[in-house]
Amino acid sequence: MGKIALITGASGGIGAEIARCLSHDGFTTLLHYNHSTDKISALSKELGGAETFRADFERPEDIEEMFRQIEARVGAVDLLINNAGIASYGLITDLTPSEWRRLFAVNVDAVYHCCRLAIPHMVRQNSGKIINISSIWGVCGASCETAYSAAKSAVIGLTKALAKELGPSGITVNCVAPGAIMTDMLCSLSEEALQLVKDETPLGRLGKPSDIAALVAFLASEKADFITGQVISPNGGIVI
């Protein structure tokens, strides 16, 4: 059995493509999901029966139970991909405190909980990799996406600090900050809005999940063993 990789939010477009790439590269892939049972079942079958784990990332106790199940069924995690996330659109004055809290629970708190539970094994074996999926809006902010931007910015700060903390233990921590990627998160945008994003992107197109997965696969490989604490943004040049 190859090294064990946990991909959170594996039922989404980017998460599923990451799982495919890592499986192709020889990792034993563990697939986290919450609601998308049909999608995760299909992906598991596609990947030869990959283990699946359900957890509501608003509930820390669900995350702890997920890691208990992983250890009991498969073993400890060598590679953690913190990909699960949710978005919110609208003026900050229309955003309720509960919606703000939910954004941070899923996009930031869950990253902390997953890292906290995965790290002890990595420290014991003096190796491991953590790759956090942030967003270009975590780098530069986006109007009408204040909570999402703030949460994804927090993931970037966590990545940089954790890389310094875990470096002496042989563990790398990096962050991928995608630009506009054609996934379900963009489905609410109109064709006109999507075209505007394309027009503002020097490469003239939206990104694909495979664009992100390829970078994650590289960071997960031995070729990236001397890279840590970095924020890499595949965004087609929309922010340079």
Q: What pLDDT is stored for residue 1 in this prediction?
A: 62
Q: What pLDDT is stored for residue 186 in this prediction?
A: 76
Q: Which two tokens stand for residue 138?
A: 């975590």
Angle, CA 79 vertex, CA 77 and CA 80 arms, to 5°: 90
Residues annotated as catalytic are: 148
Structural domains in the chain, sorted by start: 4-231 (3.40.50.720)
Contacts of 121 (CB under 8 A, 6+ apart): 76, 77, 78, 128
- Burial label, 123 (beta-carbon count in 10 A; 0-12, 13-18, 19+): middle
- Count of CB atoms within 10 A of residue 1's CB? 8
Q: What pLDDT is stored for residue 193 in this prediction?
A: 86
Q: What pLDDT is stored for residue 189 in this prediction?
A: 77
Q: Which two tokens stand for residue 236?
A: 């087609």
Q: Decide if 106 contacts 58 (C-beta within 8 A).
A: yes
CA distance 62 to 57: 7
Q: Which of 170, 75, 56 is nearest to 113 (CA)?
A: 56
Q: pLDDT tens digits for the chain (240 residues)?
A: 689 999 999 999 999 999 999 999 999 999 999 999 999 999 999 999 999 999 999 999 999 999 999 999 999 999 999 999 999 999 999 999 999 999 999 999 999 999 999 999 999 999 999 999 999 999 999 999 999 999 999 999 999 999 999 999 999 999 999 999 988 877 767 889 899 999 999 999 999 999 999 999 999 999 999 999 999 999 999 999
Contacts of 137 (CB under 8 A, 6+ apart): 145, 148, 149, 152
